[in-house]
Amino acid sequence: MSKYNMRKKITLIGAGQIGGTLAHLIALKKLGDVVLFDVAGGVAKGKALDIAQSSPVEGFNISLIGTDNYEDTKNSDVIIITAGVPRKPGMTRDDLLGINLKIIKEVAEGIKKTSPNAFVICITNPLDVIVMALQKYSGLPKNKIVGMAGILDSSRFIYFLSQELEISTDKIKSFVLGGHGDTMVAMLDSTEVDGKKISQLVDEGKISKAKLDEIVERTKNGGAEIVKYLEKGSAYYAPAASGVEMAESYLKDLKKQLPCAAYLNGEYGVNDLYVGVPIIIGSKGVERVVELKLSKKEKQNFDHSIKAVQELFNSAKKIDPSL
């Protein structure tokens, strides 16, 4: 709880591109007081102060502080983690995994001491494996630790479809499951446009199968497409918006069904692994994993995705056998 008691306290670990955007969105939506934490302390302080200085213009009345001290994050209601380093030229995926595992271990130790009751949303890549490591390192309850990826991937897919079909995004229902990476699974059988199944639109010639496949591919490469344009850094507006949707569903007990990386204990035939599935987020955290009936093709793709996540987690265990 924040010092104002009535207001919620939201800590953002990592004050980089996504961290800063999260802080701004949270302030604009007046979700709670914000603590921006970063080991590079100045960036957290600078961004917090910059956003706070927009409060007279924007009309929000929340507190924003920047810090490099975990004490300031004490008793947070929600923690969103983006701490990490991006891949640099010449660095392998495993090199990156090793570095981000170390960072996540440090973060896990910091938050378990100061905010053991928080709802924790992890965004750092490689997402599914990092969120699993975060849970193991921190020992926080599995229903209070989730990963953000599926909302972003789904949002990208819906946006691309809406552009192609020239229809508003709110008329499209769809989601993407599985691991966050090139094995993600767009759920075509559950995709509806203005109440019609997407397969029906293909039959009616409104969209070709080839175009649909192209959109699925573009979604899988959605992150890389932006990295290519930006040259430095990766996407942050849509990732931050997706993280905020999860935080809001928890803080306001909205019980929204959202695709997120959640801990599976038998659901979808998967044991002891974090993967992207639809979950209900409410005031108790992950209140339920929603089990959908998958078509044969979807199941095949989902299993392939699980295998990729499991393999990457095995690499993580080789780097740190304590996992």
Which residue in the shown chain puts its C-beta closest to ligand TXD?
16
Applying CB under 6 A, the site for ligand TXD has a residue count of: 33
CA distance 217 to 99: 29
Pick out residues in 240-269 that bind ligand TXD (CB under 6 A): none
Annotated catalytic, 304? Answer: no
> Cis link prior to 89 (omega < 30° from 0)?
no
Cα 252 from Cα 262, distance rounded (Å): 20
Binding letters toward ligand TXD, positions 3-42, x by CB under 6 A: ----------xxxxxxx-----------------xxxx--
Strand bridging mode 119-122 / 185-186:
unpaired
124 binds ligand TXD (CB under 6 A): yes
Identify which range of 69-77, 103-111, 156-164, 199-207 contacts ligand TXD by CB under 6 A.
103-111
Q: Which two tokens stand for residue 92?
A: 């392998």
* Nearest distance, CB of residue 226 and ligand TXD, angstroms: 9
For ligand TXD, the closer CB: 174 or 198: 174
**Helices 222-230, 209-220: inter-axial angle, 10-degree rounding:** 60
273 binds ligand TXD (CB under 6 A): no
Contact range with ligand TXD by CB under 6 A, out of 25-33, 51-59, 232-240, 296-304: 232-240
Q: Calculate ∠ Cα 145-237-40, nearest 5°.
A: 70
Is 70 a binding residue for ligand TXD by CB under 6 A? The answer is no
Residue 306 is a binding residue for ligand TXD (CB under 6 A): no
Nearest to 132, CA basis, from 158, 157, 105 = 105
Instruction: For residue 43, state whether it binds ligand TXD (rule: CB under 6 A).
Output: yes
44-56 per-residue burial string, b: 16 or more CB within 10 A, e: under 16: bbebbeebbeeee
User: Pairing state of beta strands 78-81 and 9-13?
Assistant: parallel
- Decide if 194 contacts 311 (C-beta within 8 A): no
End-to-end CA distance of the chain: 31
- Closest to ligand TXD by CB, 124 vs 301, is 124
Question: What is d(CA 9, CA 31) in angstroms, rounded to the nearest whole number?
Answer: 9
Which member of 134, 235, 244, 277 binds ligand TXD (CB under 6 A)? 235
Of 26 and 201, nearer to ligand TXD (C-beta) is: 26
Q: From the candidates 138, 180, 184, 262, give the one annotated as an active-site residue.
A: 180
Site string for ligand TXD, 164-183 (x = CB under 6 A): ----------------x---
Active-site positions read: 180
Q: Write out the residues near ligand TXD by the rule CB under 6 A.
A: 13-19, 37-40, 43, 82-84, 86, 103, 106-107, 123-125, 127, 148-149, 152, 180, 223, 233-236, 239
